[in-house]
Amino acid sequence: MTILVTGGAGFIGSNFVLSWLTETSEPLINLDKLTYAGNLDNLATVSKNPDYIFVRGDIGDASLVPELLAKHKPRAIVNFAAESHVDRSIKNPSDFVLTNVVGTFNLLEATKAYWTNLPISEKEAFRFLHISTDEVYGSLTAEAPAFAETNRYEPNSPYSASKAASDHFARAYFHTYGLPVITTNCSNNYGPFQFPEKLIPLCVHRALSNEPLPIYGDGKQIRDWLHVADHCSAIRAVLTGGAAGATYNIGGNEEKTNLQVVGEVCKILDDLRPRTDGHSYERQIEFVADRPGHDRRYAINAHKIEQELGWTPTETFASGLRSTIRWYLDNQTWIINVTTGNYQNWMRSHYGVE
């Protein structure tokens, strides 16, 4: 028994790989292209684990992926590999189409060819778990009910459009070919190893570097936040008990405005690492131009996964954010290593020269 994980050197993928190797005794192969977001430092503690194999490569590689499947014969694939940052998708959508749409399509094709020739019992047990996002459902008004699995897809950014397209291909491979695909749509994750282009680690890093904390527009956009460890436990629950062809929404039931999130980050830092001048980090908050097409509100109705699979999150946003900020404070070398070179180019092009 073994599983193939794609994108396992990124934020959620590396948290998943680490927790998998701690919580189970099943070998895991990690296929990752190592884009700017992939970082083998995240996986240093398991690099010599005999149950762990890393392969550098692209999910869209039509010769490598079939070779890996034939060699390792996984009983499941968990597809995390993607371009994941909305702002980058607005500046340069083509990479999002290439990996999220064409890459996922090629991965589905290779998986179908492999799965078709499995013995019947292995065919039935096989799972292709496609990791997607709540952003495919579009934007909610303040009073609208949270996203359910039955909501219409209304993606608004090139990122969410590319994820929606990949979800549709995943769905079609179940309906047309019977490939046992499951799709999960999760809300905003936070936790260790998140690349500091995303709101929470960006603000921690910039607060400590005495740089402005950029709030897009009025800062009243709402996101639902889930600790990455809870997302990983949900994925394990879906792999174990999820029905082929099903979709599951995953969320933390923690809706916050961006201003609340950044305010909380500042308060925790004021407590754990106060500014030397005695002022709050909140004085570094700066309102900047809004993200084009910025979705106003996301919220997740996670009743289905709670009721069918018995999954619930264990962290609250308050406890999870505090431990996450402690992690970033204790792992400054990790931050320094990922914020050189290309990172600085992105910061300059997106936020301007400081």
Binding site for ligand DAU (CB under 6 A): 84-86, 133-135, 187-188, 198-199, 202, 214-216, 221, 223, 258, 291, 298
Largest CA distance in the chain: 68
Residues 6+ positions from 143 with CB-CB distance below 8 Å? none
Q: Which span (21-29, 45-53, 58-66, 232-240) binds ligand NAD, by CB under 6 A?
A: 58-66
What span, in angstroms and rounded, lies between the C-alpha atoms of 144 and 235?
Answer: 27
**Judging by DSSP bridges, how do beta strands 213-216 and 181-186 pair with one another?**
unpaired
Secondary structure letter of residue 159 according to DSSP: H
Q: How far is the CB of 201 from ligand NAD (least distance, A)?
A: 11
- Residue 99 contacts which entry, ligand DAU, ligand NAD, none (Cβ below 5-8 A, type-dependent): ligand NAD
Q: How far is the CB of 278 from ligand NAD (least distance, A)?
A: 34
Q: Looking at the annotation, which residues are catalytic? A: 134-135, 159
From the list 315, 36, 46, the residue with the least C-alpha distance to 5 is 46
Q: How far is the CB of 99 from ligand NAD (least distance, A)?
A: 4
Site for ligand NAD, residues 278 to 337, rule: CB under 6 A: none
Q: Which of 21, 30, 46, 60 binds ligand NAD (CB under 6 A)?
A: 60
Burial (CB count within 10 angstroms: exposed 0-12, middle 13-18, buried 19+), residue 240: exposed
- Residue 81 contacts which entry, ligand DAU, ligand NAD, none (Cβ below 5-8 A, type-dependent): ligand NAD
From the list 83, 53, 78, the residue with the least C-alpha distance to 68 is 53
- Residue 216 contacts which entry, ligand DAU, ligand NAD, none (Cβ below 5-8 A, type-dependent): ligand DAU
- Sheet containing strand 127-133, edge to edge, reads 52-56, 28-32, 3-6, 76-79, 127-133, 181-186, 247-250
Q: Which of 17, 18, 28, 38 binds ligand NAD (CB under 6 A)?
A: 38
Q: Which of 4, 5, 12, 101 binds ligand NAD (CB under 6 A)?
A: 12
Binding mask 131-170 for ligand NAD (x = CB under 6 A): x-x-----------------------------x-------
CB 27 within 8 A of CB 55: no
